[in-house]
Structure 1
Amino acid sequence: MADTITFRPDEDASRALEVLTRDGTPVSAAVRSALIEAARQRAVASVRAEAQALAADEQDRAEAMQVLRDMETLRAW
């Protein structure tokens, strides 16, 4: 069984909730969907930041290029 969450929306949250429920979507469904989407966006941002950090790591890039060169020599023609 799911937990019940109570919150007091401020003006901005109330306006956002009104937009999300304007089409008849129940408040609980709108909040649930918004939470899931926010978590997904945070995960994407985290992975993007990690990829950017790796791309900026010159030593890691050099090692990756060396691995690619080594693997090329193993390729069967």
Structure 2
Amino acid sequence: MAIVNFRTDELTQQALDELTADGATVSAAIRQALLDAARQRRRDLMRRESTALLTDAADLAESRAVLRDLDNLRAW
């Protein structure tokens, strides 16, 4: 495991104080904040990709074609 040192500024110190107000250690708060930030970044990327697909004419045409093909397989 790596040991990371960093200097807080006023804003990050306030955030760190907020995240440790419940008794969490500084290390635990920073670990959780990093995990949350990475998860949010992945969500943002998926949102951008899905938004791009909504306006992709070729992808929409392919999706419609697949739905038409699958419609023939419906039981009802």
TM-score by length of 2: 0.92
Match of 1:18 in 2: 17
Pick the structure with more helix per residue.
1
Counterparts of 1:23 and 1:73, CA distance in 2:
57
Q: CA deviation at 1:54?
A: 0.6
Equivalent residue of 2:4, what SS? coil
Equivalent residue of 1:74, what SS? coil
The number of equivalent residue pairs is 76
Q: CA deviation at 1:76?
A: 4.6
Unaligned runs of 5+ in 2: none
Q: What does 1:1-77 correspond to in 2, within 5 Å?
A: 2-76=1-75
Query: Once the two structures are superposed, what CA deviation does each residue of 1:37-76 show, in whole Å capped at 9, x if it has no partner?
Result: 0000000010111011011112210111011101222345
TM-score by length of 1: 0.90
Unaligned runs of 5+ in 1: none
- Two-structure CA RMSD over aligned residues (Å): 1.1
Letter matched to residue 14 of structure 1: Q
Letter matched to residue 45 of structure 1: D
> Which contiguous aligned blocks of 4+ residues in structure 1 show a shift greater than 4 angstroms?
none
Counterparts of 1:75 and 1:23, CA distance in 2:
54
